[in-house]
Chain A
Amino acid sequence: MINKSDKATAKKLCIFIALSLTLSLLPALIIYFTAGFESKAMTVYSVLMPFTPAASAMLTRLISKEGMEDSMLVPKFSGKGKYYILAVLLPVVCLILQIVIFSAAYIDRFDLSLRIRFLGVTKLGWFSTLFYQIGIGLTACVLMLGEELGWQDYLYPKMQRVFGKPITLIAGGIVVGIWNIPLVVSGQYFGNVKDKAAAIVLAALICILTEAICQQLTESSESVITAAIFRSVIHFSSPAFLSLITLEQRKITDLFKFHAPQLAALASVVVFCIVFVGRKNKLAKQA
């Protein structure tokens, strides 16, 4: 039996999901039938699209007159500093895991110094590029708020209230995956792949895992800034890490085989977050 407040929350969820998917899919459809996905219009749209979840959340809050009281936009540092550090370290751990799993599965012998030399840079140059990209990720996290204000600040808390955590983690990821369909189909996500359906499913899986980590960080730190930092650092620092395995990655044509290490790395980090980060949070609340 769903109570009144859950019904009201479910209504707001429907409005938000309808708005965010409309803002994502409708312009993409218009561009597809007019200029086509190869046009500059699609690339301009892909620059502005990440801000649509935040716009949808603001519009939903306006329509439902709920204000910003339950928003987790403001950062909380006292007692939560460790989650901000975790938001920077987890992407690095995730990417290192991805390289380790990839190397174990597809490479006979992995030598870090040799690989850095293959890139035509010195060790110092590679490490300074890595720190430079992590620094960019840390500062440019504000760009990721366009998505996090929608997903972690609005969708996930409300879904959790109505459906509980396990269903939220899966259903929320599926919503984000559907939102990403224009980017997947236009080739901005995985490049030009033949099997678009498989690419959409893979994108949904990646979204479920990434958003699960973001949800855990947001819940523990009581702010969406940690989730934004996580996404930003992983986005900007992945080129430095993945350049170490580019040669071998180019030889793999199967989409799932290519991304299997990424899925495994993300899944490991999700398990870590649920077991350790979530548990610490629970113990702190009980205390």
Chain B
Amino acid sequence: MRGLLYKEFCLGRKNLLAVFGTELIFSITIAFPTIMDKGKDMSAVFNILGFAGVVLMFLIMMMFVPSIFDNDEHKKWAYFICSSPEGCRGQVASKYLFAVILYMIAFVWVYIISSVQTVLTDAPNFSLIGLYMIWILIIMHSIEFPFITRFGTKLGNSVRTVMFMMLVNILLIIFGFADIEAVRSPEAFFNFVEKLLGKSGMSNLTSIFLAVLPFAAIICYLISYRISCALYIKGAESYDK
């Protein structure tokens, strides 16, 4: 497993560079309260900017994390690794683990910037938003990764696009027709963001949803890993030489 992870780091240099690049760019929006420091009048706007910065950063990472499967879409490699002591389980596990490692690197970065900023400017700590995004993205990848394992990255990308569009459509329908307090006015949305950042009390429904989310993410990821292990060899047969 150690060797396979080392291989992922070596072959996935582009992914790592993309992760660091994204983090650096969005660090500016996350650190806006420190950079601008215009006083309490602008604090709600800076909260939204920081919130949006973290969300966008993780959404962009979601786009290129699945490309870690690209490197090993070769029949010869697939048959070789399945015959090794690691087996197809080790191969699939290294991919799943590497995806989590990429998100964890991003989370640690957001945590350090946010925590230092919270000390310097009393801005909220945006690392909680990072955690929420990791949980949601892990659930989305749990659906996507078995498709990538069985049918390759091209179809996996299509699945991800379809899933994302479905999620956006569902959210638009909910926000359009349901009377949700958070979208009634900009002030209501600011209050909702403050609740997510832990600055004020959450409703029971939100806290139950956030309580269940991490455990659901772990269980979904484990089930997805099992499914991918079962589908790996079949998927390998459709690879190029």
- B is bound to A: yes
- Which residues of A approach B to under 8 Å, CB–CB? 40, 43-44, 47-48, 74-77, 122, 124-125, 127-132, 135-136, 138-140, 142-143
Which 6 A-B pairs give the minimum distances between C-beta atoms?
A135-B214, A131-B211, A132-B211, A128-B211, A43-B119, A142-B104
Q: Choose from B111, B120, B135, B207 the contact partner of A128 (Cβ within 8 Å).
A: B207
- Chain A CB within 8 A of B218 CB: yes
Tell me the smallest distance from the CB of A13 to a CB of chain B, in Å.
Answer: 24
> Does A125 contact B207, Cβ atoms closer than 8 Å?
yes
11 contacts between A and B (CB under 8 A): A47-B112, A47-B116, A74-B5, A76-B1, A125-B204, A127-B211, A128-B207, A135-B213, A139-B134, A142-B107, A142-B108
Closest residue of chain B to A133 (Cβ to Cβ) is B211
Return the CB mask of B196-228 against A: 1 if under 8 Å, else 0.
Answer: 000000001001101111110010000000000
Cα–Cα distance between A140 and B131 once the two chains are bound (Å): 8
Q: Choose from A47, A77, A131, A139 the contact partner of B212 (Cβ within 8 Å).
A: A131
Closest residue of chain A to B213 (Cβ to Cβ) is A135
Cα–Cα distance between A135 and B128 once the two chains are bound (Å): 12
Contacts of B120 in A (CB 8 A): 40, 44
> Does A136 contact B214, Cβ atoms closer than 8 Å?
yes
Tell me the smallest distance from the CB of B107 to a CB of chain A, in Å.
Answer: 7
> What does DSSP make chain A's interface, helix, strand, loop or mixed?
helix
Tell me the smallest distance from the CB of A45 to a CB of chain B, in Å.
Answer: 10
- Chain A CB within 8 A of B184 CB: no
Tell me the smallest distance from the CB of B76 to a CB of chain A, in Å.
Answer: 26
> Does A128 contact B119, Cβ atoms closer than 8 Å?
no
Q: Choose from B5, B112, B207, B213 the contact partner of A48 (Cβ within 8 Å).
A: B112
Cα–Cα distance between A142 and B104 once the two chains are bound (Å): 7
